[in-house]
Amino acid sequence: MRFLTIRLKSVALAAGLALLLGASALTAHAAGAAEVYWSGSRSLPIYSVERDDNKVALSFDCAWGVDHTDAILECLQAEKVRVTFFTVQFWAEKYPEYLKKISDMGHEVGTHSATHSYMSRLSGPEIESELETSSAAITAVTGKPVELFRPPYGDYDDLLIDTAGAMGYYPIQWDVDSLDWKNLSASDIAARIVERVRSGSIILMHNNGLHTAEALPIVIATLRANGFEFVPIGELIYRENYTIDVTGRQIPKGTA
């Protein structure tokens, strides 16, 4: 099985990564939805979540291809980890069998827009159309409602965030970027992630990154060894009574 081959390769990489990181604990790097009260002057998506239970979320953007998706899903199943996938409408329509497999395996699916455009350049009605049609395409396959939205390219403005929130979506960004789309080595991807994760982190990866599947078992094993637990983003975020600070960190009201 593909995952077993990747797992064997990952053992040596994990050992090297452990030497790189040392035995010390990981260092944290600072960096309804319509009822959010922003603490700054700009509307922000959720980059991370203020939590003290070491829960974190892995997320995968799906826009181009599926070559490495089976290996990722096999790893997640073997490790009993549930994650969040953000799919573009044209990806969902081109690969419905993969979308259904992702959902049936217990993973969460959010929208990554309809056309993967720079949505800060769109009007309000265009934004609404992108979210409505992409969510409908996902629900048509999974039978489940869509609550989460990640803007393509991490690009957003107040209009996008406010419109998405008014439609009932939780706009989601990330505070840990794997840069796997740059075809970094598995060890470099893993090192970038484990060095930056803190409780409440949202980790960005891609379903078709060249070495993402190879890095994934290292990331899971290393973070678990350091006391972290994996949950989908929908189980990481707060749904009410929260604020978002100027860094995009979601904070329960009364603890800021």
Calpha distance 252→241 (Å, rounded): 6
How does pLDDT run across 135-153, given as a tens digit for each residue?
999 999 999 999 999 999 9
Q: Rounded CA gap, 150 and 85, in Å?
A: 10
Q: Which pLDDT does position 41 carry in this prediction?
A: 73
Q: What number of other Cβ atoms are within 10 A of residue 161's Cβ?
A: 27
C-alpha 48/C-alpha 30 separation (Å) is 10
- How far apart CA 98 and CA 103 sit, in angstroms, is 9
Task: State residue 25's pLDDT score.
Answer: 36
User: Which residues does the chain have with pLDDT short of 50?
Assistant: 3-4, 6, 8, 11-12, 15-16, 18-39
* pLDDT for the residue numbered 196: 97
| Reduced DSSP (H G I as helix, E B as strand, rest coil) percent helix, strand, coil of the chain, to 5 | 45, 15, 40
Return the CATH fold of 2-22+32-252: TIM Barrel (3.20.20)
Cα–Cα distance measured from residue 151 to residue 226, given in angstroms and rounded to the nearest whole number: 31
**For the chain, percent of residues with pLDDT exceeding 70:** 84
pLDDT in tens, 189-236: 999 999 999 999 999 999 999 999 999 999 999 999 999 999 999 999
pLDDT at 228: 98
Q: What's the rounded Cα separation, in Å, for the pair 165 and 169?
A: 5
